[in-house]
Amino acid sequence: MSATAASLRNQFPLLAAAPDLHYLDSAATAQIHRLALDAMLHHEATRRANVLRGTYRLAEAADLAYEQARAIAARFLNAGAADEIVFTSGATASLNLVAHAFGNTLKAGDRVLISVAEHHSNFVPWQMLRERTGIELALIPLGADGQLDLAGLPELLDRNCRLVAVTHCSNVTGAMTDVATLVAAARRVGARVLLDGAQAVQHGPQDVRGMDVDFYAFSGHKCFGPGGVGVLWSRGELLAAMPPFLTGGGMIASVTNEVATWAEPPQRFEAGTPPIAQAVGLGAALEWMMGLPWARIHATEGHLCEMLITGLQCIPGLRLLGPQASAQRAPIVSFDIPGLHPHDICQVLDGHRLALRGGHHCAQPLLAALGVEACTRASIALYTDEAEIEALLDGLDYAVKVLT
Partner 1 sequence: MSLKMNEADALYQDAIKQFAQAAHGHGQLAAAALVPIGEAKLDNPLCGDRVRMQVAVSSGRIDAIAHETRGCLLCRAAAAVLGLRAKGEDEAGILAAVDGLQGLLQHDGATPAAWPELAMFEPARAYPSRHRCILLPFRALLAALRSAPASDAAD
Residues in the site for partner 1, rule: CB under 8 A?
A: 341-344, 347-348, 350-352, 358-360, 364, 367, 373-374, 390, 394-395, 398, 402-403
> Can the peptide bond before residue 266 be classed as cis, meaning omega within 30 degrees of 0?
yes
- Give the nearer residue to partner 1 in terms of CB position, either 15 or 354: 354
- Give the nearer residue to partner 1 in terms of CB position, either 98 or 391: 391
DSSP 222: G
- What's the order of all strands across the beta sheet hosting 111-115? 85-88, 230-234, 215-219, 192-196, 161-167, 111-115, 136-140
- Give the nearer residue to partner 1 in terms of CB position, either 197 or 395: 395
Angstrom CA distances, 399 to 186, 202, 342, 349, stand at 46, 29, 11, 7
Closest CA to 161 of 114, 195, 111: 111
* Cβ at position 168, least distance to partner 1 in Å: 24
Closest CA to 263 of 274, 277, 278: 274
Please report which helix (H) or strand (E) contains residue 370, including its range: helix 364-370
- Give the nearer residue to partner 1 in terms of CB position, either 319 or 352: 352
Q: Which of 169, 346, 362, 375 is catalytic?
A: 362
The torsion angles phi and psi of 234, rounded to 5 degrees, stand at -150, 165
Beta bridge partners of 140: 115
Angstrom CA distances, 243 to 101, 105, 116, 175, 252, stand at 5, 8, 28, 33, 11
Strand 192-196, strand 136-140: pairing: unpaired
Confirm whether 362 is a catalytic residue.
yes
* Cβ at position 173, least distance to partner 1 in Å: 17
- Give the nearer residue to partner 1 in terms of CB position, either 237 or 394: 394
Q: What's the length of the chain?
A: 404
* Cβ at position 341, least distance to partner 1 in Å: 4
What b/e readout covers 176-203, taking b as 16+ CB neighbours within 10 angstroms?
bbebeebbebbeebebbbbbbbbbbbbb
- Give the nearer residue to partner 1 in terms of CB position, either 59 or 374: 374
* Cβ at position 376, least distance to partner 1 in Å: 11
* Cβ at position 395, least distance to partner 1 in Å: 7
* Cβ at position 400, least distance to partner 1 in Å: 11
Amino acid at 101: A
Give the end-to-end CA distance of the chain in Å, rounded to a whole number.
32
Which positions are catalytic? 362
